[in-house]
Structure 1
Amino acid sequence: MLKTLSLPVMAGLAVCLSGCGLIYKPTGHVLAHYSQDEVVPYVMGSGDMDMSACGTGMGQNQLLSSFSRVIDRPSNVLLTTNLLAGLCSESQAQEADLRFQRALRAGDTASARDARTEAQRLYRRTALRRYQTYKDTVDAFGELGDDKCPSLGNDTEEIEHLVGTLTSVQALLSDIQASSSVGVPQDVAAKAGREAECMDNEKWWGIPNALQAVVWLSVPGAAPDGADPWSQLKQAADYGESKGMPMAAMLYAVAGYGQSDEAKEKAGIAQVARIYNDGVTPKEYLILGEVAYNQALFLSDRIWTREAGKRTPFLALGDFPGSEDDGATADDTDFDADDFLN
């Protein structure tokens, strides 16, 4: 009797399970298309970097990645969620880096070593996520820098191509900060520099030319004869400023840091602050302004920590220790706790 009953039960279960499989594929396609058409543009227009990076990037990535088990991998969307997740872990690595700098300045060797190890672990996590962004960018648009530009259908695909290429360079830099433990290929940066030729520099606020110039400065032999990377980078930063977008200025500051040119680094940081504070960043791409601001703030925090033992004073990005206006008015030294409590 039990055997007789078990047969229709098993048959029914098999039908149900096969039905679930039929549902998964259309669900995956719907979510992938919805994310591409609505989630990505929404995130690009978000002014909340923490919510976008540690919320959307961390929260959506594995859900959307799981559909690659039943449909083609939605690489366009996943390159965005992975780069956002990379920004989240990078911000944690930067906090550990600042703790390392403070401990080193205080002569606390044990704490400095511990913070340094934590930072390296988090930079490795960041490099892994950014390396996946590179892979998804290649999957979505073809190999970078192979002399064949991808065919892009709309602004969403163009911005994905741009930020995916930029993040591919950052993958290599994050890996270097993690003692090259991930193994991001060394030629990724040079490929990205060539890929910048496929992007509309004027439409995208000078970022493609800035990215290309950073690669020229970073990769020996990458610059063509007669090229002036710093001049191109400065022109890109100034063009970005005229359009209210601080990303190219941020790349100028990053290049100054990478080339140990503190004057250029500070100039880039100050330009980012000026553009950001003007409050005219294109509303559809606010998240790029937030990324630029936060990266410049970290570079500023390193300078302040090294020279003053503390991070940049509140709302004082663009001021530096020892300057006429070094952010002292915004510092805790002017804060009267008794006055505040009473």
Structure 2
Amino acid sequence: MLNLFEAKFSKDRLHPIFTLISRHRHAPEREVLNRWAEGFTDRDGKFVDEFQLTFEAAMWELYLHAVLKELGCTTDMSFHAPDFVVTGPIPLTIEATIAKPAVDGQPAFGFDALEAIPKDFGALNHEAALRLCNSISAKHEKYKSSYSKLPQSQDLPFVIGLAAFDRPYAHMAVNRPIMAALYGHYIDESDIYEEDGKQHLGQYHVQGAIKPNGSTVPMGIFLDDRHADISAVIFSPIATWGKIRALAKNTGIPTVFTTLHPIEGSIHPERRQQPSNRYEEHLLDGLYVFHNPYAKKPLAPSVFNHERVAQFWLKENGEYEIICPDDFLLYRQIMSVTTFEEGETPPGR
């Protein structure tokens, strides 16, 4: 069993969320992470260091490990790469990665909760899509140069597990940036129009997004065979510190959970608000699987066939086939009544 919470470094080096979660009042949150870590193997002897110093990527890897266990998958943790070699019931490989802030960009923790709220969701979606594409491209190059040559990867689907920690309130972008990155499908939240008595959002096909330096990053990674090595992308905008809080059900911290869920035929989501003693969230809530129609080794839909998971396929006619629960968790915001001790940094979400 990994010893995640025995600090190995001086306080000034520890990640703020690790410092926060190490406090006595967050024992239920620590228990959630310890459950996720059951059966996980630290293959290079650095995982606990990364968990304590950088937190987010390591937490995301533990989450994916927990997801695979929840789905009944068997994983061989003896291999150094890719991150997960699933041996059954359907063999596949998964490499975990996160979208990080741009150079000199503000991190997804420790920010002023009011000042950091996005004021331009078009800009948020645009910039977030760039960061997601960078992360996907980096792992694709790694697959071509390394993972594809490993015996444990031969003839198996290659899946990228991706989460966004590239800015404050990254989770507010929901699925907009990943749809643009993978399928070139951009939803313009500023373009609301009426047709047939209903409100609609403007939707466009985009081929690329412009970086601050003027160069263009291609969008629509899954619209041709240039990324056919990637079978699918697993994505969650809300597998964050908030997911841990939701599953922990920490009665010692008064908390209100606000969530958004789709309403069929409406551009406006359903808003729900519940106190922590009545709030329920599943481990897999908020999890997407986006399939690559050009994949050399397609991912079998049955691998992630679960009532809480959303799966997307792009059909030849350009329409989507979607399997998704009616009350899919699009977004979650947490408000807690708590105090911070000297030296603590609020996580921001």
TM-score w.r.t. the length of structure 1 is 0.30
Q: Which has the higher helix share?
A: 1
Decide which structure has the larger Cα Rg and report it: 1
